[in-house]
């Protein structure tokens, strides 16, 4: 049948099973929005307040559902406003297809109104980018974009379509889409056998779970391996929920703000089994002293990650779920009760702790965990609140922690929460932000209200850029250059002006009733929780230091007394 390019785009989305898109219209993409109007009974469009919010929403939708997220934007600034969200998705391996429309082909390259080479701009932060100048190639390009975004190691793909191509017509033939198969052709039998041998010879194995365990849906295999070989487990931000935070073998996050137990265990283990992780600098600290007593076994789908940041002793390349299945077929049960008992002693000796005499971020998050029973999707922005969420909310299931781990994008969380809310309508969704991050994209509260679905926004408001100020306190002689936000901005009034219910919380006894009201609401609720600006995130490993240099507030007090 003959369809316009705009109609072909929508039909291709339907082929892929897309039910929700996030975007913002403009001149160059008007033909697509006109077609979308005709298909509104089949595809739900969420109008965000800003294109960046659309890209983060598509990202959050993808992380929460495991599907490919889709966002739309017009040419010029509309397209460039997507870039931060696209880069965020690239760093965290999130499958997103961004569709932009450009000026007509005759105007390309002539500095036309609202013209940018968006395909060129995003080339370093996408798996692939296209500009389609021939309507007969449009359908196949859209299909390729979805395959690339969702296969192998996922990531974002951008398709840019000139306006005249969206208006042109050609014959469209519907295709039946098949889901990409897991990557197994790179899994070598001898590598699996070596992995089993290393595990069988270890006395102190330690599992380090990364985002690949979530992406490949390998959580059942991860849990089975940990218990079969009696290995304690730590995780990265991206790996949260792949191993339950309520499991006795769980030691907490590792790295700069990881628990003392995880960091010390990393230094004491004799075998580190790294599952779908890229060994970020925030995890490893000084790579020269990382896991000094351990052989390292790395399992990852991306061969480029092997020996990139940390030199390993053995590896298996391929889809993590498939690799673990093969290992579990050969791996016998092991008894490491002495090693596990030592880990349990460390967990008891070095618990996470915070000031219980005042309202704090950890208190709010711990109370949120208690009231939800851990059954919620939590998104965050970036900073102290993000670390507290990772430390104090016990994530039991995968795809329940949405955060910008690689790029560290302030303003990410609220858009991501909206995406998760649309993709998982039966789940409780809460975004946790600091006041600095909330300022970045708080206009998306209007979007959340417009969606008419329950959503909770918690702002841990200390009137400073908390994490940056913490560094200034510890390493910059308390010179608080441009990190104090002590102004007249009132988040309660702003939220109410955008149609949300808003509650200010200033005391610990106000937290539980405010959370209960927010969690039971059928709309958007903002909790403005005022906490002290001097609160810091501990434990902490200084940048570039060894993981066993981890310190907490008690260590700082003891050090001051000894001086």
Cα distance between residue 63 and residue 47, in whole Å? 20
CB atoms within 10 A of CB 330: 13
Residues 6 or more apart whose CB falls under 8 angstroms from that of 447 comprise 46, 47, 48, 49, 53, 57, 418
Q: How far is CA 491 from the centre of its chain?
A: 25
The label of the residue with tokens 């390998």 reads 218
Prior bond to 539 cis, omega within 30? yes
Q: For the chain, state the CA radius of gyration.
A: 24
Of the candidates 106, 108, 114, the one whose C-alpha atom is nearest the C-alpha of residue 80 is 114
CB atoms within 10 A of CB 402: 29
CB-based contact 218:276 (threshold 8 Å): yes
Q: How far is CA 202 from CA 191, 229, 295, in A?
A: 17, 10, 9
Residues 6 or more apart whose CB falls under 8 angstroms from that of 366 comprise 392, 393
DSSP, collapsed to helix, strand or coil, labels residue 73 as strand
Q: Is 113 a catalytic residue?
A: yes
CB-based contact 430:418 (threshold 8 Å): no
Which stretches within 424-500 are classed as H helix?
435-441, 444-451, 466-475, 491-497
DSSP, collapsed to helix, strand or coil, labels residue 526 as strand
Run of H or E residues at 130: strand 128-131
CB-based contact 261:346 (threshold 8 Å): yes
Q: Is 553 a catalytic residue?
A: no
- Annotated active-site residue in 127, 163, 260, 396: 163
Q: Is 163 a catalytic residue?
A: yes
Which stretches within 81-162 are classed as H helix?
83-91, 118-121, 138-150
Strands 20-23, 69-73: pairing is: parallel
- Annotated active-site residue in 38, 42, 113, 338: 113
Q: Could you give the angle at the alpha carbon of 14 between the alpha carbons of 11 and 19, nearest 5°?
A: 135
- Annotated active-site residue in 198, 256, 467, 540: 467
DSSP, collapsed to helix, strand or coil, labels residue 446 as helix
- Annotated active-site residue in 114, 194, 220, 533: 114
Q: How far is CA 77 from the centre of its chain?
A: 25
- Annotated active-site residue in 7, 16, 22, 51: 51
Of the candidates 411, 487, 404, the one whose C-alpha atom is nearest the C-alpha of residue 442 is 411
Q: Is 522 a catalytic residue?
A: no
Q: Which residues are catalytic?
A: 51, 113-114, 163, 467
């Amino acid at each position: 049948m003959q369809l316009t390019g705009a109609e072909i785009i929508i039909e291709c989305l339907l082929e892929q099973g897309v039910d929700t898109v996030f975007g913002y219209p403009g001149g160059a993409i008007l033909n697509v929005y006109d077609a979308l109007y005709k298909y509104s009974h089949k595809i739900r469009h969420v109008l965000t307040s800003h294109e960046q919010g659309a890209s983060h929403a598509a990202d959050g939708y993808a992380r929460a559902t495991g599907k490919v997220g889709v966002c739309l934007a017009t040419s010029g600034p509309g397209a460039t406003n997507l870039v931060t969200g696209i880069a965020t998705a690239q760093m965290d391996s999130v499958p997103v297809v961004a569709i932009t429309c450009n000026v007509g082909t005759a105007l390309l390259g002539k500095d036309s109104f609202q013209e940018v080479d968006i395909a060129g701009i995003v080339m370093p932060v996408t798996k692939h980018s296209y500009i389609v100048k021939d309507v007969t190639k449009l359908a196949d390009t859209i299909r390729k974009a979805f395959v690339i975004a969702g296969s192998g190691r996922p990531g974002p793909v951008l398709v840019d379509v000139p306006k005249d191509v969206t208006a042109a017509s050609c014959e469209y033939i519907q295709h039946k889409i098949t889901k990409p198969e897991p990557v197994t052709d790179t899994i070598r039998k001898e590598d699996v056998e070596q992995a089993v041998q290393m595990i069988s010879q270890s006395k102190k194995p330690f599992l380090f779970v990364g985002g690949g365990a979530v992406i490949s849906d390998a959580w059942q295999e991860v849990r089975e391996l940990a218990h079969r070989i009696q290995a304690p487990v730590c995780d990265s931000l991206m790996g949260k929920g792949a191993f339950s935070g309520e499991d006795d073998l769980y030691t907490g996050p590792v790295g700069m703000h990881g628990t003392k137990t995880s960091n010390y265990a990393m230094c004491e283990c004799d075998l580190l089994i790294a599952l779908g992780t890229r060994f970020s600098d925030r995890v490893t600290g000084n790579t020269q002293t990382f896991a000094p007593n351990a052989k390292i076994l790395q399992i990852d789908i991306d061969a480029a990650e092997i020996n990139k940041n940390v030199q390993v002793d053995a590896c298996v390349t391929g889809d993590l779920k498939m690799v673990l299945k093969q290992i579990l077929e050969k791996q016998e049960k092991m008894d490491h009760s002495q090693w596990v008992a030592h880990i349990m002693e460390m967990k008891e000796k070095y618990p996470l702790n915070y000031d219980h005499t005042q309202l704090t971020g950890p208190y709010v998050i711990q109370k949120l965990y208690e009231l939800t029973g851990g059954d919620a999707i939590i998104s965050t922005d970036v900073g102290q609140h993000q670390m507290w969420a990772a430390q104090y909310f016990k994530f039991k299931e995968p795809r329940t922690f949405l955060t910008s781990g690689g790029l560290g994008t302030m303003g990410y969380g609220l858009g991501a929460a909206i995406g998760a809310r649309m993709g998982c309508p039966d789940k409780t969704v809460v975004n946790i932000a600091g006041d600095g991050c909330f300022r970045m994209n708080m206009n998306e509260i209007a979007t959340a209200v417009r969606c008419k679905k329950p959503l909770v926004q918690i702002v841990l408001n200390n009137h400073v850029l908390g994490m940056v100020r913490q560094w200034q306190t510890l390493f910059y002689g308390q010179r608080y250059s441009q990190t104090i936000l002590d102004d007249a901005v009132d988040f309660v009034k702003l939220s109410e002006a955008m149609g949300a219910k808003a509650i200010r919380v200033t005391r610990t006894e106000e937290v539980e009733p405010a959370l209960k009201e927010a969690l039971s609401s059928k709309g958007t609720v903002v909790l403005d929780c005022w906490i002290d600006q001097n609160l810091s995130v501990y434990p902490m490993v200084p940048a570039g230091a060894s993981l066993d240099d981890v310190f907490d507030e008690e260590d700082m007090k003891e050090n001051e007394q000894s001086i």
